[in-house]
Structure 1
């Protein structure tokens, strides 16, 4: 489509979030000064999480929400109509972001029990739908993010290593848009980034591609991250103790929950996550806290976890099982900083001081979600239900709270990207 831009005056930058999940990327961008004006997310629980945390957002109006992106892109007239409406309403959209489902590219998500090639998984082609949306809306910039495995994935076992990424890159590189009568393409840069380099307390590698419309001047350099289109690392990832120690409740019991903060915030990071956006104050000891619910571990499991705590994460031979793969979350990171990646599995890590796995609230902190952020849906579910059953063509799946959080873009990484894009787009 073609549209004409006008001076918008002082207002928030606008973002359209596709495949938004529970909203980690959007929240980071919002903290940097963007406003989400349209959201797409297939799973109802994740969509509800996204919407309920934004009570004053335009997306409270259901016309600015869509579950299945194919319902938006299948008919070009529908997409053209939406793009025209958004561009008229906001006098041009600044940013379109998206992280199409990655279960076919992730070594974790594409489970070994599924004998299905990547070219047979419909969700593996949704990057093309994102490209269609970018081409119609013609934003000043777009952000595509996904798992590291996308860089080396093949469509079939006999295919060429990295062929899927080549297709993704080609698809976005070919986008052209019309603005003020001119046909424009996008300057593109990409990089494999590590969340720990942007203050996030986990490693979490992600491939991030950024496109800047060619009428936006950018000083790029191959020596910079993503050719200058991605932010330089900031560091500052907190140790687990500085992240979680204020949530340690000495009265916890398996299967129980902690309903109020058991301690005052001590570290700067704890204060950051306990900042109340309504009052602007740090939530004090005794204030309500949500999603701090404990798994109902058996005595045998707790004994195993306690042994790990007392023996630097090691496990006695008599306690080992074939499926045992849990690691002890340390109080302090070793050399090199965070060396973990929070995924969708709540029992991946054992707490550094209590014989239990992390709660949803603690899991959310690993992704730098603030404590006021709420999550909708089941707490957890069976492993196979988290990915559907690809062998029989069942693409539906549960998306419990742990999985929503594990799938999210870390909030602080999103904020770093947002602050960098503001500079590129000429906003102070």
Structure 2
């Protein structure tokens, strides 16, 4: 199959369907799709730090998985607008050659944890996605977002109608695609994190897909086999994920990283999930730098952890009286429960307190909760603050915003089966019955 847009065959398994990932972030969705057997053509991500993570893990010829990347496209961070403006002809040349267009448009404008302004410019990214759909006509669409995309937005002015972006998106796609939607819970797929996300899948009406291609029904029926093949269950706990990264395993003073920060040295795996995340990785595990908490902060964390344990308030927000007692204004702070999946991780490193140590989590621990293997390292700043939070995507944010690779792999396997069957149907010769001779 030719996917370059200039008539040259891309390397790799030419029989596997091909995808493009837009709003790719650090590459969680791409990693999952590649692990499921898909060929990645290229990714679109505007933040330089997030793109550097993609480059680091998914763009080298010696990488475990890598994009094929057309020669006409610069390997750099870019927006969909610039991609279309600079490469419109090459994108049109991809029509009929792209099996899947995947992406998770920025979700902050839809999140119930944010201000939910319906005029948030990030909400307009859905339009950019649709412009790319119109250019390349992919056979399958996948969009991931927070559940808030399905909630109605209040009108800005009296008399104006409410807006529901999920319904608008479906209405714009349905003339050309059979649209299916569902909410998926991360723990159902072996992930140690309470994370619920909205998924939309569109199957092109003119692409000869089998009638029985009900994506989310197929996903539900294949879930147990998916977990069993990886030695997992739907009850992976926080301790199952990160207990080998506890500071206590290595004495009171962890090894410093290259910049002098204390960093964790991972111990041997103690659960099937940890073995899966090791994924053959040997040597130091990246992104284990610890926050430099002061003695006062550590003591406060110890008191908070003890109080939450006594009041049976691990995993949930601190009560109002607890916040008052500890002088905290922030409502999102939670102490993890080692026996349960973690609360949803966020871009704020101090939202979660470790279940047994007076500290916040490392980037690696958050990555474990998201299902990134230990060989997958992150690039850029660790975190940021102030107005820069609107413009920069440092490591903690990259991890929090990612589609969990394990969940993406489960979806990818189902879509691969559908796409492969569709290709076989289109390639099958049409048998014309010969007319009976007449005498």
TM-score (norm 2): 0.78
Q: 1:81 corresponds to which residue?
A: 90
CA distance in 1 between counterparts of 2:377 and 2:55 reads: 10
Q: Distance in 2 between matches of 1:160 and 1:350?
A: 42
2:52 match: 48
CA apart distance, 1:61: 5.6
- 1:156 counterpart residue number: 155
CA deviations on 1:91-122 (whole Å, 9 max, x unpaired) are 722111011112211133448xxxxx422x33
Alpha-carbon deviation of 1:47? 0.8
Contact kept in structure 1, 2:193 and 2:238, CA below 8 Å? no
TM-fit CA distance, 1:11: 3.1
Q: Which range moved further: 240-249 or 304-313?
A: 304-313
Q: How does 1:139-178 map to 2 (within 5 A)?
A: 139-154=138-153, 156-157=155-156, 160-161=161-162, 163-174=164-175
| Matches of 1:377 and 1:246, distance apart in 2 | 25
Match of residue 199, structure 1, among 163, 180, 190: 190
Counterpart of 1:145 in 2: which secondary structure?
Answer: strand
Q: What's the CA shift string for 1:185-241, capped at 9, x where partnerless?
A: 3211011222222222112221110011222333448xx774x47555546241111
Query: CA contact under 8 A between 1:145 and 1:206: conserved in structure 2?
Result: yes
Which secondary structure state, in structure 1, belongs to the residue aligned with residue 420 of structure 2? coil
Query: CA–CA distance in 2 between the matches of 1:216 and 1:157?
Result: 43
| 1:328 partnered with 2:335 | yes
Q: CA deviation at 1:28?
A: 0.7
Query: Against the structure 1 CA distance between its residues 161 and 341, is the aligned structure 2 distance closer, same or farther, given a 3 Å change threshold?
Result: farther
Alignment of 1:351-366 (within 5 A): 351-366=354-369
**Counterpart residue number, 1:216:** 208
**Whole-angstrom distance in 2 between the partners of 1:291 and 1:36:** 25
1:307 alignment partner in structure 2: 303
Instruction: Compute the displacement of 1:29 (Å).
Output: 0.6
- Number of aligned pairs? 377
How far did residue 385 of structure 1 move?
2.7
What does residue 353 of structure 2 align with? Answer: 350
**Pairwise CA distance, 1:63:** 1.1
What is the CA RMSD across the aligned residues, in angstroms?
3.0
Partner SS state of residue 26, structure 1: helix
CA shift in 2, pair 1:294/1:339, >3 Å: closer
- Separation (CA, whole Å) in 1 of partners of 2:417 and 2:126: 26
| Cα 1:339–1:297 shift into 2, 3 Å | closer
1:100 to 105, 125, 133: 105
The residue correspondences of 1:335-414 to structure 2 (distance < 5 A) are 338=341, 340-382=343-385, 384-386=387-389, 388=390, 397-414=391-408
The verdict on how the C-alpha distance between 1:237 and 1:157 changes in structure 2, with shifts beyond 3 A counting, is: farther
What residue in structure 2 maps to residue 135 of structure 1? 134
What secondary structure is seen at the aligned counterpart in 1 of 2:262?
A: coil
| In structure 2, C-alpha distance between the alignment counterparts of 1:60 and 1:242, rounded to whole Å | 40
Contact 2:238 2:342 in 1 (8 A): no
Residues in 2 aligned to 1:16 and 1:410: alpha-carbon distance in whole angstroms: 17
Structure (1 or 2) with the larger CA radius of gyration: 2
Shift of 1:273: 0.7
SS of 1:426's equivalent? helix
Unaligned ranges ≥5, structure 1: 112-116, 175-184, 277-281, 389-396
- TM-score computed with the length of structure 1 as normaliser: 0.80
Residue-by-residue CA offset, 1:226-279 (whole Å, 9 max, x unaligned)? 4x4755554624111111011112235598322632x21121111111113xxx
SS of 2:349's equivalent in the other structure is coil
Seen in structure 2, the aligned counterparts of structure 1 residues 409 and 163 have a Cα distance that, compared at 3 Å, is: same
Pair 1:377–1:60, CA change in 2 (3 A): farther
Instruction: Report the equivalent of 1:426.
Output: 420
Q: Do the aligned partners of 2:46 and 2:79 also contact (CA within 8 Å) in 1?
A: yes
Checking the alignment, whether the CA contact within 8 Å between 2:247 and 2:264 is kept in structure 1 is no
Task: Describe the shift of the 1:58–1:81 C-alpha distance in structure 2 as closer, same or farther (beyond 3 A).
Answer: same
* Contact 2:32-2:407 within 8 A present in 1 as well: yes
C-alpha distance in 1 between matches for 2:202 and 2:37: 19
Any conservation in 2 of the 1:367–1:411 contact (CA below 8 Å)?
yes
Gaps in structure 2 of 5+ consecutive residues? 62-66, 225-232, 255-259, 425-439
Distance 1:80-1:156 versus aligned 2 partners, 3 A rule: farther
State the 1:325 CA deviation: 3.7
Mapped contact 1:189–1:229 kept (Cα < 8 A): no
**CA spacing shift, 1:411–1:237, aligned 2, 3 Å:** farther
Q: Secondary structure of 1:347's partner? A: helix
Q: Counterparts of 1:289 and 1:145 in 2: how far apart (Å)?
A: 29
Query: Would you say 1:270 and 2:274 are equivalent positions?
Result: yes
